[in-house]
A = this chain, B = another copy of it.
């Protein structure tokens, strides 16, 4: 690649926006040339407008960029969107219509039948939905969404099992880290030495998104996978890492050892192996009975790998297992960066 591809970040001063800045500052393929922000910060250098919450200081080359208003007249084609839900809902289609490619971390269009809900290792072929999206909505650009962080933490093994044995049902209970709620997020008065067995909207996301991610692209449409998911999300006093306990019924029942073998030998789709942000390996299977653990395993593969464990036969269903991923590294902004890398490889970035 002779020259880096210029990209912009929508809502670059917020928590997720800062993570995009951090991830893209030294990216081998992309270069941040545009950052947008609210009225309060627009017109000022990014380094002054941002209340930087990550380690160290904002990268110097980004710190000097002047923050622009979030309007579809930006001098860059590829946009990473860290917009909050209401603005994302309103503005992302406007950007797509105006010809921009929007890689969004926001939730409003995740379940839109024409928007790819994309995780490169899970469903790289779903980008085939993009032409249908453009035709359906009359957009020159398009939107691609990454999955919710809790969905992300469990969907890779579900996809592998679905492909191998046909997934019929999954009962999922998640133990989710506080960083998933952003900042200020969960009050310490609520979570110190406690569990909150409720995360607004999360159960629904966990029950729907995996069916789309494991779905099949047929004639410009995603056919949702025909399995059922039951989810109960819990917030626990853990810093990073969402842990899912999953019990599945499969159409063909394997033994636990066959499943462990499947997980251990699994390789991501060929195209993923050339993406610069992909971890090696993508999937780690641990045989210790007390793993994965959030504090020990969420950082595996620089926070981008899935750690699985405890594959056992289930007295009620067929197989049960644990799946863990880092919610802010694998689950949020990084997901969109990996998606952009995949889109580039597939020729969708033009």
Q: Give which listed residue, B230, B243, B245, B290, contacts A315 with CB less than 8 A.
A: B230
Q: Which residues of B contact A207 (CB under 8 A)?
A: 315
If over half of A's interface residues share one DSSP class (helix, strand or loop), that class is named, otherwise mixed; here it is mixed
For the complex formed by this chain, how many copies does it contain in all? 4
Known contacts A230-B314, A234-B245, A245-B173; A184/B187 CB under 8 A: yes
Binds B, one of A27-35, A90-98, A258-266, A293-301: A293-301
Q: Does A289 contact B (CB under 8 A)?
A: yes
What's the least CB distance linking A200 to chain B, in Å?
A: 8
Binds B, one of A268-276, A316-324, A336-344: A316-324
Asked if B237 and A193 make an inter-chain contact with CB atoms under 8 angstroms apart, the answer reads yes
Q: Which residues of B contact A179 (CB under 8 A)?
A: 189
Q: Which residues of B contact A228 (CB under 8 A)?
A: 315-316
Interface size on A, residues (CB 8 A): 53
Nearest to A240 among chain B residues (CB) is B193
Complex Cα–Cα for A136 and B234 (A): 47
What's the least CB distance linking A251 to chain B, in Å?
A: 15
Q: Which residues of B contact A322 (CB under 8 A)?
A: 197, 232
Asked if B230 and A289 make an inter-chain contact with CB atoms under 8 angstroms apart, the answer reads no
Contact with B along A171-197 (1 / 0, CB 8 A): 101010011000111111111111111
29 contacts between A and B (CB under 8 A): A173-B173, A173-B232, A173-B245, A175-B195, A184-B184, A186-B187, A187-B188, A188-B188, A192-B237, A193-B237, A193-B238, A193-B239, A194-B238, A195-B243, A195-B294, A196-B293, A197-B245, A197-B309, A198-B289, A198-B290, A198-B310, A229-B316, A230-B317, A232-B245, A232-B247, A232-B310, A234-B243, A234-B245, A237-B237
